[in-house]
Amino acid sequence: MQISSRFTIAIHIITCIETFKDEYKTTSDFLAASVNVNPVIIRRILQQLKKAGIVETKRGSGGAYAAKPLDEITFYDIYKAVDCVENDLFHFHENPNTNCPVGRNIHFVLDNRLHDVQNAMENKLKEMKLSDVVNDTLKLIGKEAQ
């Protein structure tokens, strides 16, 4: 099981948008060059982020920008926006053998535990702010945070 790379790509995209907002128009082509993926992937993720109210875009070569302050955007917001998981983080095999005592009981003993793990991860994502990623990136490349 892995969380889709859309999550880290989305964080990369917004970090680029904020890092270069005063120097470049952050178009899908510009962002794709930084992420090193096809611009179509960037446009899809930007659409998801826009639908979630995280970014705004201008048609044509207008670029993209954050729709709200970065300290109000959590990793959880991004995680939900780009549909990293459909419902449950863990995909449970659907048809364990009910003739086996383990197969008959495995959902009962495991489902709540896996749900707790997912809740713990999501709660941790809610604590992490995009502003920290952008600020740390700006420090590493020698820029001042705006």
- CATH number, domain at 47? 1.10.10.10
pLDDT of amino acid 1: 52
Q: What is the pLDDT of residue 40?
A: 96
Reported for 65-73, long-range contacts at CB under 8 A and 24+ positions apart, including other chains, are: 65/17, 65/21, 65/26, 66/14, 66/17, 66/18, 69/131, 70/14, 70/18, 70/129, 70/130, 70/131, 70/134, 71/129, 71/130, 71/131, 72/129, 73/14, 73/129, 73/130, 73/131
Write out residues in the chain with pLDDT < 50, as ranges.
none
Q: Read off the pTM.
A: 0.85
- Asked if residue 145 is part of any domain, the answer here is no
Amino acid 94: pLDDT: 83
Tell me: the pLDDT tens digits for 13-42?
999 999 999 898 899 999 999 999 999 999
Instruction: List residues bridging with 66 in a β-sheet.
Output: 55
Residue 46: inside a domain: yes
Question: Is 52 a member of any domain?
Answer: yes
Structural domain total, the chain: 1
